[in-house]
Structure 1
Amino acid sequence: MKIRIASDEDWPSIYPFYSAIMAEGRTYAFPEGQSLEEAKPWWMEAPPGRTVVAVVDGVIAGSAKMGPNKPGRGAHIGTGSFLVDPAYQGRGIGRALGEYVVGWHREQGFHGIQFNAVVEVNEPAVHLWTSLGFEVVGTVPEVFDHPEHGLVGQHVMFRRL
């Protein structure tokens, strides 16, 4: 697996799994049913942020976006979002992307990383982020409408760098 900076030419390869994950409605409160062009600004970060892809055997199997969590006085804290193509889940791609994002934020001089909205019933994500040194610092109740579990909370997770 290789992780590299995403280019505009990569977006058509990311979009199919981006669209499938948004349609499932289990992890992100992003708009569903977006076209290729409508979805692009939701995922492809502009500087000072970055979007990367994880490539396995020449195929884009995952992607992450990262950058400042907030502008101005909040810009010392980073954030990130992650997608792994369902056909490639369980192969360590999410962990590799998570490690990349932590390393990038450290190299860029961020003080910490805050994930604003980890769906509390997304046990694989909560487990992964906890194993990478993040902690749940709070949970906002009933803010995510999960297709199976109904109204569930979203964790705010944080890791100091």
Structure 2
Amino acid sequence: MAYHIKSKKSVVKLPYLPFSATIKDGTDVLLDSYRDEHEQKVYEILKHIVNVEGDSYPQEDMTNIEDFRAYYLTLDVFVCLEKTSKEVLGAFYIKPNFPGRCSHICNAGFIVKVSARGRGVGNFMAEMYLRLAKDLGYRASFFNLVFVTNEASVRLWRKLGFKEIGRVPNVGNLKGKGYTDALQFYYDFTA
């Protein structure tokens, strides 16, 4: 690891959470701060994405819940819940992409439950991310590794006005896809 970012929860309270909305398919959802009661559901979603799909996160294995906690729960985490049942449809974290003097630039990791994909959950979370990250005090967002084969993600960041600032050739050896390029996206919250 090139550097270490200290884990700590944000002290900023976001008074508009939980935030209620209706997504593309007509489902009423809530975006709220992660709580311990969400752990198993969020873990299961990420474990499926990493271990079964293997084509959108760089990790090769997520079978240990301690690895999940150390990676995903180190700073601010938010969940998208179906409003009535409180079913976890997706989640994302927001944390500094770099340490110290560069910690004003954040990164995020989004996950959507397989059965909730294509319904607007990812789009809703991405739009909320733009608001939340800015309100948490970040000045910009930088996504290091958006694999070119993750077409839904690439389309979403372009649609939301992220600038494509780089391409890393053959960076990911993805399950079923082999060596794959990744795009890098940047968004300036101060503009």
TM-score w.r.t. the length of structure 1 is: 0.92
Match of 2:158 in 1: 130
1:155 Cα offset (Å): 1.1
Q: 2:63 aligns with which of 8, 11, 34?
A: 34
Residue 142 of structure 2 aligns with which residue?
114
- Structure 1 stretches of 4+ with a deviation exceeding 3 A read none
Equivalent residue letter for 2:66: E
> What is the CA–CA distance in structure 2 between the aligned matches of 1:25 and 1:37, rounded to whole Å?
19
Q: Specify the alignment match of 2:106 in structure 1.
A: 78
Number of equivalences? 158
Give 5+ residue unaligned stretches, structure 1. none
Distance 1:76 1:38 in 2: 25
**Aligned partners of 1:75 and 1:145: how far apart in 2?**
28
Give the aligned partner of residue 105 of structure 1: 133
CA drift at 1:90: 0.7
Alignment of 1:9-28 (within 5 A): 9-23=37-51, 24-28=53-57
Query: Which segment is superposed worse, 150-159 or 28-37?
Result: 28-37
1:77-119: CA deviation from partner (whole Å, max 9, x where unpaired):
1111100001100111111111111101211232210011111
Distance in 1 separating the partners of 2:159 and 2:188? 14
- Structure showing greater radius of gyration is 2
Once residues 41 and 175 of structure 2 are traced to their aligned partners in structure 1, the CA distance between those partners, rounded to angstroms, is 26
Give the stretch that moved more between structures: 102-111 or 22-31.
Answer: 102-111
Aligned partners of 1:32, 1:95: CA distance in 2, in Å?
26
Mapped to 1, the partners of 2:105 and 2:77 lie a distance apart of: 17
1:87 maps to what in 2? Answer: 115
Q: Deviations over 1:2-47 (max 9, x none)?
A: 010001221111111111100111100124142223322211133x
CA-CA distance at 1:51 after TM superposition: 0.3
Q: Is the 8 A contact 2:46 2:62 kept in 1?
A: no
Over the residues paired in the alignment, what is the CA RMSD in angstroms?
1.3
Matched, 1:52 2:48: no
What is the TM-score with the length of structure 2 in the denominator? 0.78
